[in-house]
A = this chain, B = another copy of it.
Amino acid sequence: MTEVAILGYGVVGSGTVEVLEKNAARISKNAGQRVNVKSILEIRDFPDSPHKDKFVKTFEEIENDDDISVVAEVIGGVDLALDYTRRCLKAGKSVVTSNKEIVAKHGYELLKLAGENGVNYLFEASVGGGIPVVRPIAQCISANRINEIYGILNGTTNYILSEMTKKGTEFEDALKDAQQKGYAEADPTADIEGHDACRKICILSSLAFGHHIYPEQVPTRGITAITAEDMNFAAELGYKIKLLGRSRAIGDKVAAYVGPHLISQDNLLSHVDGVMNGVVIRGNAVGDVMFYGAGAGKLPTASAVAADIIDAVKHRYARKLIGWGEGGEEYAADPMQLESAWYIRTNVDREKVRREFGDVIFAEGAFDTKSTIAFKTGYMSGNIIKDLIDREIPALSLFRILGDY
């Protein structure tokens, strides 16, 4: 039997306890032994919980308990979580986490620390909720050189954009609707400004390309500037607008960024709607592979935490080879050098656009804004498009179009 501890009894923590209990038989079978939750660290009281005897108020009770060999850190945030994770690893306990912020910011350090202490640090639940994506990158596609990763990594923003597409509403209204339905938090900044997607593309990039990419190395734009008119123009041109995290190897460097993209309706990713996530890996042998499912939610995320617990139990004496090397300033390439086609919404006249961009494809006539037009350009780098925009064609919106670039 393996004794585990859960740090934090919020949504994911309580879900993890629920999954471990509900699927105990299958989990015992897959782990090769019984997995028992011995302690739950939580400052709140749960006097009516069937697990009330397991709650402890101080981290030290878990840190000093030699019976506990696997700890699930599902506190969130960085300060406490980082301190506890370090101390667990140093105490010879494997740690599994759903905390994307800590993995994106401190993954390299914590993976190294786990290695030094002969234990595992696993984080399947930190990207894509319950969708298996971390382990497939590390293992299943291990015979491929990965050229690119991109995906819809945040369910809240995808819900908002899907609603805007479906109902023609503006961003603010769709956000309010998402908040009422519980898909967006009262303070939605981390989601709508793209920070959450940024953390996830950091983790995926680090894993796929071998060295740590940090959030501050990833230019990030959210969805707040997207208008109902953009959605309409995009549809007219045959596209949907989605927030993507993307990352691409360029020589020995990696260029990663987060921003809105137009995706052709021929691309399966454009049909990933609502709160769902979809992650595409482009390997040099396998081509494009996509993983799809609920990117958040209590039980989906808990199921990934529980799968990592099983893995930590099975690999107690044989470390999993999931991790990456040190990053650095030099490692991050500027995504502005990447070429793509672009979507531009502007109120300058067609003839001027034609002089600058040649024979581009126009969409027009949405709503009552007859003076606004949208068009798509040929392939050009971010630097060139920025120069053109700054100089001649003031853009109301400027988004990349997803394609082979």
Contact = CB atoms under 8 A, between A and B. Distances in A.
Contacts of A293: 286-290
Nearest to A271: B271
14 contacts: A19-B144, A22-B285, A23-B144, A23-B285, A26-B142, A27-B142, A129-B286, A132-B141, A141-B307, A143-B310, A283-B303, A285-B300, A285-B303, A290-B290
Contacts of A289: 130-132, 291-293
Interface string A124-164: 10000111100110011111110000000000000000000
Interface in A146-205: none
Nearest to A308: B143
Nearest to A305: B143
Interface string A282-319: 01111111111110010110111011011100100010
A124 B143 CA distance: 12
A119 B191 CA distance: 47
Nearest 5 Cβ contacts at the A-B interface: A132-B140, A143-B306, A130-B286, A285-B303, A289-B293
Contact of A27 (B143, B297, B300): B143
A42 to B, nearest CB: 21
Interface of A: 15, 19-20, 22-23, 26-27, 30-32, 124, 129-132, 135-136, 139-145, 268, 271-272, 276, 283-294, 297, 299-300, 302-304, 306-307, 309-311, 314, 318, 321
A254 to B, nearest CB: 15
Contacts of A318: 318
Contacts of A27: 142-143
Contacts of A283: 130, 303
A23 B140 CA distance: 14
A324 to B, nearest CB: 12
Contacts of A139: 132, 135, 307, 311
Nearest to A25: B145
B285 A19 contact: yes
A214 B276 CA distance: 34
Nearest to A272: B268
A129 B288 CA distance: 12
A29 B130 CA distance: 28
B30 A321 contact: yes
B130 A303 contact: no
A19 to B, nearest CB: 5
Given A268-B292, A299-B287, A26 B140 contact: no
Contact of A143 (B23, B135, B142, B272): B23
Contacts of A131: 286, 289
Nearest to A299: B285
Given A142-B307, A291-B291, 20 more contacts: A19-B285, A20-B143, A23-B145, A23-B285, A26-B144, A27-B143, A30-B142, A130-B141, A131-B286, A132-B132, A132-B139, A135-B135, A136-B136, A136-B140, A143-B304, A268-B292, A286-B293, A287-B297, A290-B293, A292-B292
A24 to B, nearest CB: 10
Contacts of A19: 143-144, 285
A252 to B, nearest CB: 13
A321 B297 CA distance: 29
A15 B288 CA distance: 17
Contacts of A23: 143-145, 284-285
A293 to B, nearest CB: 4
A132 to B, nearest CB: 3
B310 A26 contact: no
Contacts of A288: 293-294
A133 to B, nearest CB: 9
Contacts of A294: 286-288
Contacts of A124: 140
A314 B32 CA distance: 20
